[in-house]
Each structure stands twice: as C-alpha cells, then as structure tokens.
C-alpha cells in the first residue's frame, strides 16, 4: 500500500461519518443545548465513531506494515497493539465544538464544526498508529533514511484539507468579532457525597459524614471527569434538583433506590451539604463509640471497627431511631 492508496482508504472510512453526525446533530439544535444534552448527543454518536476509529487504526497498522516490509524486508514485523478511543477522550476533544452547539438556535455551522471535528478524530487514529509504531520500533532508527517514507511520516503531523461534505453542511462563516467574556472559574476544593431523599442506608450515611474529602468526582462515585461535572453543576445554577436530573445516570448506586448526589465543593466552610454532613458525622461518632464498646465486651460479631460501626448505624435505622430527612439536603 502506498501513500495515495492509504489516503483513499482513509477517505472511504470517513466518507459517511460527517453525514451521520449531521443527521443526529440537527436534532440537538434549536433550544440552548445543556451540558447533559451535549453528553447524550456524543453518546449517540460514539459507537459509530469508535467503530470507524478502529477501522482507521487498522488502516494505519496495515499501511505501516506494508511500507516497512517494502523498505526493510529483512526486519521482522514490529507488533504494536491498535490504538483505541475512550468516550472520555472523545468528550474532551469535542469541547471546542460544544460552545457553538450550546447557543440558542445554533447555526448549521455549529453542526459542521462537530462533524469536521469528529472526522478529524477518526483520521487521527491512523496517524497515531503510524507515528507510535515508528517511535517505538527498536530496529527502525538505523534504517529510516528513505526520504519519501520520512516525508510521508512528517506529513502525518500536518492537518488534512477540509473533507468534502454535502452542501447542507455549509462551512463556517466569518462572524463579527466579539470580545470574549472572561469569567474566573471557581476552584473546586473537594467533592462530597450528599443524600437527597428518603433512601439513605448506613453505608451512605458513612460516606455523607466524610464531607468533601474526595479529590475527584470519580472518587466520590460520579462517573464523569471533574471538568464536565463542574460545568454541569454551574449550568444547573447550582440547583441541586436540576443537577440531580443531569447526573443521576452517572452516580454509583450503593443499593437499590440510592438517591445520593456527588457535588463539587468550592468552600469547605460554606457549602450546601455542610449542616447535613455535620449531623451525619455526629451520628457516625456515636455509632463508633457503640462499636468500640461491643468489640471490647466481646458482643460484636467481628473485631472490624468500621464494619461494626456501620452495623450499629443499621440497627438504629431498623429501630426507627434515625430520621433520614435530617441528613438530606434536597428532598
């Protein structure tokens, strides 16, 4: 396979992708697109993106192998795993396109930008495969003197021309320059797990009592990166009910009906769940004392203090001694 054949195959892989993105992207134009809606759109697109990304990586692998065999037939094949794409990476790389799509009555140009960005993401799979293979080929350094091959490898770092797409995907038009409004983003000091209703178990109470000790949203049980989670919180106007709706599907549930919420904390001395956390902490301390007493007296089933503290909380819950609404910050 030569460079011309490679580019033709790459064009075939991405041929229908722009139209695919356009078809679904149009459904998300009109009303201002929220962060949650944006994530849903990318989740719809991602299976197709991932499939074509893998095809592109295979193409890069095949092209590299064929060129290596032509130029260095005496060398054994350099086996390198195929590159893959994760949804988190796709989400991050599409961020520039989100801003245009987030406008009310977003123009067709916004869908165009998303389509072109997605096409480039897929094309990068082959580039990463080839460049990575060259860099990690232990036997290639002393042989890589062929100027044509080297020129092509260098060209992989250069952007391709805009792909040809249907007229409906009109190019981005020049718009009047508007000075960007710079807004200082709040600094997240920690992440906390909070209760929002009646379905709070002993384990949840323990997590709530810890407060904003988690260094990342994922560590607190929210399966989103910190930037995305923080933006969702801000776009919800820090309204917990709205934020709960936007993130519910990404929160790890520790039991059936778990209604916990993971929130960013910008000020550890003043945050929405502070009072509830203090009450839960006091409850945990009381249960801890009971666990200590039972372990020392030999009445406890185990000597695991943390486990016995949770068991003490469970007993109080079963006896109806704990009103869960006292530990919820939003019913």
User: Residues 155-165: pLDDT tens digits?
Assistant: 544 444 444 44
> Inter-axis angle of helices 17-25 and 3-14, to 10 degrees?
20
DSSP 3-state assignment of 264?
Answer: strand
Q: What is the pLDDT of residue 181?
A: 39
Residue 265, SS3? strand
Indicate whether 34 and 136 sit together in one domain.
yes
Same domain? 75 vs 203: no
Is the predicted pLDDT of residue 292 greater than 90, yes or no? yes
pLDDT of residue 175: 37
Examine the fold and report which residue of 155, 179, 199 is the final residue of a domain before the chain moves on. 155
Residue 184 lies in a domain: no
Question: 279, exposed or middle or buried, with CB in 10 Å at 0-12, 13-18, 19+?
Answer: middle
Same-domain pairing of 151 and 27: yes
Do 237 and 136 share a structural domain?
Answer: no
Q: Assign 107 a pLDDT band (cuts: 50, 70, 90).
A: low
pLDDT for residue 178: 39
What percent of the chain is predicted at pLDDT more than 70?
Answer: 75
The pLDDT score that the predictor gives to residue 166 is 41
**Same domain membership, residue 207 and residue 150:** no
Residues 96 and 26 in one domain: yes
Of the residues 155, 173, 204, which one is the last residue of a structural domain?
Answer: 155
Closest by CA position to 196, among listed 137, 245, 151, 265? 245
Does one domain contain both 19 and 96? Answer: yes
Nearest one of 167, 139, 144 to 154, comparing CA atoms: 144
pLDDT tens digits, one per residue of 11-48: 888 877 888 888 887 777 666 677 888 888 888 888 88
In a domain, 180, yes or no: no
> Given pLDDT bands bounded at 50, 70 and 90, which one contains residue 105?
low
| Residues 63 and 141 both lie in one domain | yes
**Overall domain count for the chain:** 2
Cα–Cα dist 232/6, whole Å: 41
Summarize pLDDT for 161-179 with one digit per residue, the tens.
444 444 333 333 333 333 3
209 and 322 assigned to the same domain: yes
What average pLDDT does range 82-93 have in this prediction?
82
For 17, the domain range is 3-155
pLDDT, averaged across the chain: 75
- Whether 162 is covered by a domain: the verdict is no
Any domain includes 176: no
Within a domain: 170: no
Find out whether 169 and 118 touch, Cβ atoms under 8 Å: no
Is residue 81, in this structure, part of any structural domain at all?
A: yes
Nearest alpha carbon to residue 242 among 263, 224, 226, 220 = 263
- Judge if 86 and 209 occupy the same domain: no
DSSP codes joined into one string, 194-211: EB-SS---HHHHHHHHH-
Residue 92 reports pLDDT greater than 80: yes
Residue 41 forms part of a structural domain? yes
Kindly state whether residues 132 and 197 are assigned to the same domain.
no
258 in a domain, yes or no? yes
- Same domain flag for 110 and 204: no
The C-alpha R_g of the chain, in whole angstroms, comes to 27
Indicate whether this model's pTM tops 0.75.
Answer: no
pLDDT band at 328 (very low <50, low <70, confident <90, very high): confident
Query: pLDDT tens for residues 242-251?
Result: 888 888 777 7
């Amino acid at each position: 396979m030569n460079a011309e054949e490679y580019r033709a195959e790459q064009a075939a892989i991405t041929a229908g992708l722009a139209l695919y993105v356009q078809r679904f992207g149009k459904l998300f134009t009109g009303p201002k697109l929220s962060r949650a809606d944006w994530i849903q759109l990318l989740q719809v697109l991602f299976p197709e993106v991932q499939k074509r990304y893998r095809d592109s990586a295979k193409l890069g692998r095949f092209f590299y192998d064929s060129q290596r065999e032509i130029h260095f037939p005496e060398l054994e094949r350099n086996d390198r795993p195929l590159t893959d794409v994760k949804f988190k990476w796709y989400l991050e790389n599409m961020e520039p396109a989100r801003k245009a799509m987030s406008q009310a009555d977003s123009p067709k140009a916004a869908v165009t930008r998303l389509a072109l960005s997605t096409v480039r993401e897929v094309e990068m799979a082959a580039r990463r495969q080839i460049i990575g293979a060259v860099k990690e080929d232990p036997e290639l350094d002393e042989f890589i003197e062929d100027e044509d091959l080297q020129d092509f490898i260098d060209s992989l770092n250069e952007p391709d021309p805009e792909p040809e797409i249907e007229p409906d995907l009109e190019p981005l038009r020049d718009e009047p320059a508007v000075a960007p409004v710079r807004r200082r983003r709040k600094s997240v000091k920690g992440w906390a797990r909070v209760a929002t209703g009646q379905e709070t178990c002993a384990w949840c109470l323990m997590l709530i009592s810890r407060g904003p000790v988690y260094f990342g949203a994922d560590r607190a049980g929210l399966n989103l990166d910190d930037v995305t989670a923080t933006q969702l919180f801000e776009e919800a106007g820090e309204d917990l009910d709205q934020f709960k709706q936007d993130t519910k599907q990404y929160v790890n549930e520790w039991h059936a009906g778990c209604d916990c919420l993971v929130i960013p904390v910008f000020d550890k001395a003043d945050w929405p769940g502070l009072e509830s956390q203090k009450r839960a902490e006091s409850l945990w301390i009381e249960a801890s004392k009971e666990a200590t007493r039972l372990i020392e007296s030999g009445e406890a089933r185990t000597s695991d203090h943390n486990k016995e503290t949770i068991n003490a909380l469970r007993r109080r819950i079963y006896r109806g001694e704990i009103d869960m609404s006292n530990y919820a910050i939003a019913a």
